[in-house]
């Protein structure tokens, strides 16, 4: 039973709820030390407590992912040891195992490559997948809560699965870049339609999105009941419908915003080679040419950061913005094709459900349950089944790879040696081929014999951070009281959040304003005042140097400021908060990334060429990161790898 609201703790920071029980009452975060590369082990909670990771990691929820919420303190520490070169010399460790293929990275790229290996390799071939997190999935993991007896799930990162309809044909969408995804979608037996949970109790008055990102995009925001919060002014309901007339912005800015939302201004009409030209300018420069000012950038920068790039409009190319379908980027020569029988779905835990279905096929027995979508989405992982001797695929978790090199000269070597640390023990394996399916910021540090050409290509990759905060609530009556389900604000932590309608997955329980939900905050760390290459590192420093308790305080204060007048009580209504920190959430492609510059090929083309027996296969090579692109690059990469076996 909760205590009544305390005047000394109006935000509920000390209330006994499902959030985190810090070990021995320690509340200080170690983020600042992590930025500097701290070398002490993170403090872990006693097993008798609710999973709470370290004081910096915070509460992790319940279930299989309770110890793997984003980049935890232990994962960050291990990564910084790679950066600082503090692991022992690889040569001092003998090889203790041999495999045909080693895959480094257990996200969608890695599991797709493993899935294909199992299909293609034949009897007697063996593959080892090494994953540095406690649970595989990369950003395709979920957070789980139990709120008032109801189990809720929300995405840690990867979200928005495309639903492939029966009439979808190859090459009909995204210039064919989603064909591989469509093939896997059908191969996994995923349905062509998903029912959503029914609405009741007043919720049926609203168009509630299933897809988290739908209300964020300028072109679709007006389709949802939306409120803008202005500090000192309050809420403005459905501002797009009124052409922003009720906002405190001056009339000139209101006209700019209205033009921007409806994509009315164009400087590309009639331009030959407009796509290539867009890759020579920053999107902020294009906005300047369109006559848009600071408020438009303040409006669109958070979406740019959380949708795919982690940085501001001044740090991505105009062509990158076109990949997001942003205003001002439509071109006659774009080759854009309308989607054919394709939709979008957000599962309760994001793309975790699709990842788990692929894993269940690649490694039968990985989950306790059958291979149906509802069962696999909810089934527990059989961790003992992941690394069994004699199976074609073995998955080894908590394994940080810190050295990958050929055994001899790359051009003539027959094997690659991979050295990794697991539970404080350094181990080494030999493979005929290695697929680097992890991020480029890792690849360029751990592949010790990388060529200058490949190293220079990786130098063209920049990254931006994102914090995914999942806040479990006992109800959402305060949204209903205000008359909208989607909120946007311009001061404080974050920028947008929406009530979401889940896929039913066989349940007929209706969603009402009195039911528990999870609000998913995609929080950027924007530094538009800095040079493009400096924005990602500066945002990452904020992400890593802020303690769990401080983020928790800011979230509670933000919700109280905005919704307190509508009956929201942070102490009473918040049932749990889980943070998922992604320091390198996205690749941030600057001008020249897609088409190259100064007569040189773009970096992604260089990295698609194997380095000896090492293949690079990750979604960053597409410039815009997604589950579908990860599968596409993995499919290409496994083809190159299999030719070496």
Each domain of the chain, given as residue ranges in start order, spans 93-136+386-460+598-642
Judge residue 481's burial from the number of C-beta atoms within 10 Å of its C-beta, 0-12 exposed, 13-18 middle, 19 or more buried.
middle
Look at residue 597 and give its three-state secondary structure. Answer: coil
What distance in Å separates the CA atoms of residue 78 and residue 421, rounded to the nearest whole number?
9
How many of the other CB atoms lie within 10 Å of CB of 98?
A: 13
pLDDT of residue 337: 57
Contacts of 28 (CB under 8 A, 6+ apart): 55, 547
Q: 361, 370 in Cβ contact below 8 A?
A: no
What distance in Å separates the CA atoms of residue 244 and residue 410, rounded to the nearest whole number?
60
Q: 164, 156 in Cβ contact below 8 A?
A: no
Nearest alpha carbon to residue 96 among 445, 447, 432, 431: 431
pLDDT of residue 328: 97
pLDDT of residue 377: 77
What distance in Å separates the CA atoms of residue 389 and residue 387, rounded to the nearest whole number?
7
Contacts of 34 (CB under 8 A, 6+ apart): 56, 73, 76, 77, 80, 544, 545
Q: 616, 637 in Cβ contact below 8 A?
A: yes
What distance in Å separates the CA atoms of residue 506 and residue 511, rounded to the nearest whole number?
14
- Note the Cα 439 to chain centre separation in Å: 12
Look at residue 445 and give its three-state secondary structure. Answer: helix
What distance in Å separates the CA atoms of residue 86 and residue 243, rounded to the nearest whole number?
57
- Note the Cα 301 to chain centre separation in Å: 17
Judge residue 13's burial from the number of C-beta atoms within 10 Å of its C-beta, 0-12 exposed, 13-18 middle, 19 or more buried.
middle
Q: 555, 493 in Cβ contact below 8 A?
A: yes
pLDDT of residue 6: 54
Q: Which two tokens stand for residue 8?
A: 């000394």
Q: Any alpha helices (H) in 368-451, and if so which ranges?
A: 373-378, 440-446
Which string of b and e fits 208-242 if b means at least 16 CB within 10 Å?
bbbbbbbbbbbeebeebbbbbbeeeeebbebbbee
What distance in Å separates the CA atoms of residue 202 and residue 481, rounded to the nearest whole number?
11
What is the CATH number assigned to the segment(s) 93-136+386-460+598-642?
Answer: 3.50.50.60
pLDDT of residue 27: 32
Summarize pLDDT for 231-272 with one digit per residue, the tens: 999 999 999 999 999 999 999 999 999 999 999 999 998 898
What distance in Å separates the CA atoms of residue 633 and residue 585, rounded to the nearest whole number?
18
What distance in Å separates the CA atoms of residue 382 and residue 366, rounded to the nearest whole number?
5
What distance in Å separates the CA atoms of residue 174 and residue 336, rounded to the nearest whole number?
7
Contacts of 506 (CB under 8 A, 6+ apart): 374
Beta pairing class for 614-616 and 425-436 = parallel
Contacts of 538 (CB under 8 A, 6+ apart): 525, 527, 530
For residue 637, what is the enclosing H or E element? helix 627-642
Under DSSP, the state recorded for 447 is: B
pTM of the model: 0.93
Nearest alpha carbon to residue 535 among 214, 218, 284, 231: 284
pLDDT of residue 49: 33
Summarize pLDDT for 160-214 with one digit per residue, the tens: 889 999 999 998 888 899 999 999 999 999 999 999 999 999 999 999 999 999 9
Q: Low-confidence residues of the chain, pLDDT below 70?
A: 1-8, 15-53, 333-339, 370-374
Nearest alpha carbon to residue 436 among 587, 634, 196: 634
């Amino acid at each position: 039973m909760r205590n009544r609201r305390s005047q000394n703790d109006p935000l509920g920071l000390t209330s006994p709820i499902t959030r985190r029980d810090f070990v021995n009452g320690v509340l200080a975060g170690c983020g600042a030390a992590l930025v500097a590369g701290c070398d002490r082990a993170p403090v872990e909670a006693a097993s008798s407590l609710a999973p709470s990771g370290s004081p910096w990691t915070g509460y992790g929820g319940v279930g299989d992912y309770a110890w793997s919420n984003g980049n935890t303190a232990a994962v960050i520490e291990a990564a910084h040891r790679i950066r600082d070169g503090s692991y022992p010399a690889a040569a001092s460790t003998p090889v203790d195992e041999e495999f045909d293929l080693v895959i480094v990275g257990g996200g969608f790229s890695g599991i797709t490559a493993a899935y294909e290996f199992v299909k293609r390799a034949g009897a007697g071939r063996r593959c080892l997948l090494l994953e540095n997190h406690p649970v595989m999935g990369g950003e395709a993991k979920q957070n789980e809560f139990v709120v008032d007896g109801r189990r809720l799930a929300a995405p840690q990162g990867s979200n928005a699965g495309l639903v492939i309809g029966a009439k979808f044909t190859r090459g009909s969408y995204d210039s064919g870049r989603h064909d591989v995804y469509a093939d896997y979608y059908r191969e996994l037996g995923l349905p062509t339609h998903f029912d959503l949970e029914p609405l009741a109790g007043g919720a049926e008055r609203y168009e509630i999105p299933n897809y988290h990102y739908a209300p964020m995009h300028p072109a679709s925001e007006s389709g949802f009941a939306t409120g803008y919060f202005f500090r000192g002014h309050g809420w403005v309901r459905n501002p797009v419908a009124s052409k922003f007339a009720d906002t405190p912005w001056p009339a000139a800015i209101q006209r700019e915003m209205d033009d921007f939302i409806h994509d009315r201004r164009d400087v590309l009409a009639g331009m030959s080679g407009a796509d290539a030209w867009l890759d020579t300018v920053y999107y902020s420069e294009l906005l300047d040419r369109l006559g848009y000012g600071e408020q438009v950038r303040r409006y669109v920068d958070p979406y740019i950061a959380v949708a795919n790039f982690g940085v501001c409009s001044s740090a991505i190319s105009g062509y990158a913005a076109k990949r997001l379908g942003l205003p001002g980027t439509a071109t006659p020569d774009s080759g854009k094709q309308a989607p054919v029988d394709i939709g979008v779905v957000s599962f309760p835990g994001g793309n975790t459900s699709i990842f788990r279905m692929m894993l269940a096929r690649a490694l039968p027995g990985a989950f306790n349950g059958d291979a149906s979508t509802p069962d696999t989405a909810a089934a527990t992982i059989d961790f003992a089944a992941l690394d069994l001797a004699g199976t074609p695929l073995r998955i080894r978790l908590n394994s940080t790879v810190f050295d990958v090199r050929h055994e001899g000269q790359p051009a003539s070597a027959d094997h690659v040696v991979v050295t990794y640390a697991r539970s404080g023990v350094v181990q080494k394996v030999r493979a005929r081929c290695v697929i680097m399916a992890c991020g480029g910021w890792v690849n360029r540090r751990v592949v010790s014999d990388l060529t200058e050409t490949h190293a220079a290509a990786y130098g063209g990759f920049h990254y931006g951070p994102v914090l995914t905060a999942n806040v479990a609530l006992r109800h959402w009556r305060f949204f209903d009281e205000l008359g909208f389900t989607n909120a946007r604000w311009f001061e404080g932590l974050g920028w947008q959040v929406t009530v979401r309608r889940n896929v039913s997955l066989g349940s007929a329980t209706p969603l009402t304003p009195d039911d528990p939900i999870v609000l998913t905050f995609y929080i950027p760390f924007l530094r538009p005042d800095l040079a493009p290459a400096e924005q990602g590192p500066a945002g990452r420093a904020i992400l890593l140097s802020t303690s769990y308790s401080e983020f928790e305080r800011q979230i509670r204060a933000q919700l109280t400021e905005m919704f307190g007048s509508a009956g929201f009580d942070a102490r009473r209504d918040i049932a749990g908060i889980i943070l998922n920190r992604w320091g390198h959430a996205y690749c941030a492609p600057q001008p020249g990334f897609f088409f190259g510059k100064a007569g040189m090929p773009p970096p992604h083309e260089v990295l698609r060429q194997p380095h000896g027996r090492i293949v690079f296969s990750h979604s960053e090579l597409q410039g815009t990161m997604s589950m579908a692109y990860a599968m596409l690059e993995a499919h290409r990469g496994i083809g190159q790898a299999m030719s070496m076996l």
